[in-house]
């Protein structure tokens, strides 16, 4: 049970606690954002004796990741086994006070440019930043009021000594309300922080873990480790993997459980001990997704959740790449998860289940079984294939298209695929082979859902899509490319368009195009699956008796 005590402190106490290393700003606090004018208003309230709110501290021996300096003011390291006071509420005000009375420079802001107006009336600002209309003896730097040189003051301000002395006493004697939380665990302290945080933004598990896992000896900084990880993964275009996914992977490797409460309860020594091994397992997973599954960028991985079971696999295998049946079973699991939208809901519990029921079974050299059968039919693709770049199902099919190495219609160069454009459905790199504007004008009877459909999507370079094709009929723009590109037929196969004539392209026959391309996509999808008896993978298409909404 946490203990709460209420007391008071003065500016001198704040400065002393900062100088001796006992007062700390935890890294999960938001960045210091107060301007010089904001600080001046706070100091004006203090000199006028107005209340400026309470400060809330967490007294603990727990070592957290902290802000190490404010401008030129460095926070020393707390001695071993000594208490630190982490600021849970009041960071902006305390930082402002320290910066103002010590005259710090933070980024491009100079907090020494805060002054006391010696001619201020009762209803005027005492603390100011604009002194262009003042004479030199009509203002004094605030930092000189807090740390006065009396002889210099008497010499420079002979007519204002009494008022300066009054401000010195007010500044040094002002008492702040201080609330101290002690004997509290980290989760209690962060909950207190969250509840009093005026922005209303809760701390993420990653922010809390950065605080919990920080270690000075041996040095380990989770935040810095993640930045390094992201930089390394950027080289392979896999830098968009979420922070929580990394924590889930560490947690399943330690506990076979990635629930939030389990992550928060992980032992620091255990976490740090396996961090490098898990990091290597991530590298193996990324290489495997890129090389074996031909997934060029992390934005195309159907779910970040899929990284976790594979990292667990490679963590257990210690750099041994899967082969034979293990490779087949892993491939089946990956694509089965994508095409069944497995992790759309309840991802955490399903990851935990899959670690035991799938990955451990594969590691034991056995074939996993699945209670829920997989449905991949032409009907299901037609039904579920409405185009949305954020859909895991659509990402799965986009991966099928990417795996063919799509080439440019115009000259056969390899289409560039990167994370920068894959996050938005209206990206110029997603080309509707039968352009939507063309279809709306010339074939309004075709349901719009079946036009904005994955079957009608090809992956092209942006300049080709918007600069050359626009809203032209396929017969028109493909004739131009056929005249320019003698290898157009082989290049179109990389888009799963096997024959321009059979697909009805030169007759602008969307019905025929849709039929042939859905067959090609279905064939590629089924080839990725290791069939189980409860799966439905048959070639099947709705009859002509179906409603217009569901047929072409």
Q: What confidence score (pLDDT) does residue 549 get?
A: 40
Could you say which of 335, 363, 391 is where a domain stops? 363
Say if 43 falls within a structural domain: yes
**Mean of pLDDT values over 99-120:** 91
DSSP 457-498: EEE--HIIIIIIITT--HHHHHHHHHHH-TTHHHHHHTTT--
Residue 522 pLDDT exceeds 50: yes
Contacts of 162-166 with CB under 8 Å at 24 or more apart are 163/118, 164/116, 164/118, 164/140
On whether both 120 and 11 belong to a single domain, the answer is yes
**Mean of pLDDT values over 389-412:** 91
At 186, is the pLDDT very low, low, confident or very high (cuts 50, 70, 90)? Answer: confident
Q: Among 104-113, 170-179, 237-246, 524-533, whose mean pLDDT is lowest?
A: 104-113
Contact 355, 309 (CB under 8 A): yes
Q: Among 79-83, 141-145, 430-434, whose mean pLDDT is lowest?
A: 79-83
Contact 113, 36 (CB under 8 A): yes
Say if 372 falls within a structural domain: no
Q: What confidence score (pLDDT) does residue 70 get?
A: 61
Overall domain count for the chain: 3
Residue 78 pLDDT exceeds 80: no
Q: What is the pLDDT of residues 110-168, one digit of tens each?
A: 999 999 999 998 789 999 999 999 999 999 999 999 999 999 999 999 999 999 999 99
Q: What confidence score (pLDDT) does residue 544 get?
A: 36
Q: What is the pLDDT of residues 294-348, one digit of tens each?
A: 998 898 999 999 999 999 999 999 878 898 999 999 999 999 999 999 999 999 9
On whether both 151 and 285 belong to a single domain, the answer is no
Instruction: Tell me the CA distances in angstroms from 317 to 78, 258, 286, 364, one per residue in order.
Output: 41, 20, 15, 11
Q: What confidence score (pLDDT) does residue 366 get?
A: 97
- 259 or 264, higher pLDDT: 259
Q: What confidence score (pLDDT) does residue 130 get?
A: 95
Residue 546 pLDDT exceeds 50: no
Q: What confidence score (pLDDT) does residue 188 get?
A: 77
On whether both 213 and 184 belong to a single domain, the answer is no
Beta bridge partners of 115: 128, 141
- 310 or 414, higher pLDDT: 310
On whether both 58 and 191 belong to a single domain, the answer is yes
- Output the CA torsion 459→464→465→471 (10° steps): -140
What does pTM read for this prediction? 0.73
Q: What percent of the chain has pLDDT over 90?
A: 64
On whether both 190 and 211 belong to a single domain, the answer is no
Say if 373 falls within a structural domain: no
Could you say which of 173, 196, 219 is where a domain stops? 196
Residue 358 pLDDT exceeds 90: yes
On whether both 338 and 383 belong to a single domain, the answer is no
Residue 439 pLDDT exceeds 50: yes
On whether both 9 and 26 belong to a single domain, the answer is yes
Domain housing 158: 3-196
At 273, is the pLDDT very low, low, confident or very high (cuts 50, 70, 90)? Answer: very high
On whether both 84 and 211 belong to a single domain, the answer is no
Q: Among 34-38, 370-374, 400-404, 537-541, whose mean pLDDT is lowest?
A: 537-541
CA torsion through residues 459, 461, 462, 465, sign: negative
On whether both 409 and 483 belong to a single domain, the answer is yes
On whether both 134 and 18 belong to a single domain, the answer is yes
**Mean of pLDDT values over 524-551:** 69
Say if 371 falls within a structural domain: no
- 28 or 40, higher pLDDT: 40
Residue 524, token pair as written in the block = 């590629």
């Amino acid at each position: 049970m946490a203990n709460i005590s209420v007391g008071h402190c003065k500016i001198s106490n704040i400065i002393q606690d900062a100088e001796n290393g006992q007062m700390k700003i935890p890294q999960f606090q938001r960045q210091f954002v107060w301007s010089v004018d904001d600080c001046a208003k706070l100091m004006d309230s203090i000199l006028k004796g107005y209340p400026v709110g309470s400060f809330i501290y967490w007294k603990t021996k727990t070592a957290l990741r902290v802000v190490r300096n404010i401008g030129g003011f460095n926070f020393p390291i707390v001695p071993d086994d000594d208490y630190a006071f982490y600021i849970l509420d009041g960071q902006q005000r305390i930082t402002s006070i320290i910066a103002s009375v010590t005259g710090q420079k933070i980024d491009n802001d100079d907090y020494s440019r805060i002054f006391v107006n010696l001619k201020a009336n009762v209803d005027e600002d005492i603390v100011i930043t604009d002194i262009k209309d003042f004479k030199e003896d009509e203002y004094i730097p605030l930092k000189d009021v807090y740390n006065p040189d009396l002889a210099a003051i008497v010499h420079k301000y002979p007519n204002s000594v009494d008022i300066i002395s009054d401000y010195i006493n007010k500044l040094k004697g002002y008492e702040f309300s201080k609330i101290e939380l002690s004997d509290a665990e980290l989760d209690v302290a962060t909950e207190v922080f969250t509840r009093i945080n005026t922005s209303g933004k809760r701390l993420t598990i990653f922010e809390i873990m950065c605080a919990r896992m920080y270690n000075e000896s041996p040095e380990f900084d989770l935040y810095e480790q993640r930045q390094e990880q992201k930089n390394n993964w950027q080289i392979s275009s896999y830098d968009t993997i979420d922070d929580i996914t990394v924590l889930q992977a560490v947690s399943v490797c330690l506990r076979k459980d990635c629930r939030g409460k389990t992550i928060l309860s992980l032992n620091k020594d255990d976490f740090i001990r396996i961090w490098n091994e898990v990091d290597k397992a991530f590298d193996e997973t990324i290489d495997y997704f890129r090389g074996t599954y031909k997934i060029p960028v992390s934005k195309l991985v159907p779910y970040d959740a899929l990284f976790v079971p594979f990292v667990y696999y490679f963590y257990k295998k210690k750099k041994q790449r899967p082969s034979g049946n293990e490779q087949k079973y892993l491939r089946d699991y990956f694509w089965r998860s994508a095409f069944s939208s497995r992790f759309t809901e309840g991802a955490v519990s399903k990851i935990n289940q899959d670690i035991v029921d799938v990955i451990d079974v594969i590691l034991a050299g056995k074939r996993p079984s699945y209670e829920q059968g997989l449905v991949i039919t032409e009907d299901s693709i037609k039904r579920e294939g409405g185009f949305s770049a954020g859909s895991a199902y659509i990402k799965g099919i986009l991966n099928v298209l990417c795996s063919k190495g799509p080439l440019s219609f115009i000259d056969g160069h390899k289409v560039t695929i990167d994370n920068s454009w894959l996050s938005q459905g209206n990206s110029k790199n997603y080309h509707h082979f039968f352009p939507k504007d063309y279809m709306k004008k010339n074939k309004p009877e075709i349901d719009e859902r079946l036009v904005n459909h994955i079957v009608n999507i090809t992956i092209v370079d942006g300049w080709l899509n918007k600069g050359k094709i626009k809203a032209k009929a396929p017969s028109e723009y493909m004739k131009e490319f056929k005249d320019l590109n003698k290898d157009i037929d082989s290049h179109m196969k990389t888009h799963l368009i096997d024959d321009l004539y059979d697909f009805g392209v030169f007759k602008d026959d969307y019905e025929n195009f849709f039929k042939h391309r859905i067959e090609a996509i279905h064939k590629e999808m089924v080839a990725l699956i290791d069939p189980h008896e409860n799966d439905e993978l048959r070639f099947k298409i709705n009859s002509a008796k179906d409603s217009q909404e569901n047929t072409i």
